[in-house]
Amino acid sequence: MTEWYFVWVEGLRGPAPQKWSSDGLWGQVGRQDVIVRFALSDEEAHLPLDELARRHPVPDGK
């Protein structure tokens, strides 16, 4: 079963939201630009990035 993650990464213009699947997670875990990663529920996995960003804001200080 595929698990989904909402991820904040350091982008060129500040924190950038992304959604990763567990299928594509291999090789991504060690990335140095990851700020935080949230495991998503089945309900959240279908939400667009803007809604996920509202539910899981970038941590203070980033």
Q: What is the pLDDT of residue 57?
A: 97
Mean pLDDT of 2-21: 94
Predicted TM-score (pTM) of the model is 0.84
Q: How confident is the model at residue 24 (pLDDT cuts 50, 70, 90)?
A: confident
- Residue 32 has phi, psi (to 5 degrees) of -80, -15
Taking phi over 0 as left and psi of -120 to 50 as alpha, with beta for the rest, 54 belongs to alpha
Q: How confident is the model at residue 29 (pLDDT cuts 50, 70, 90)?
A: low
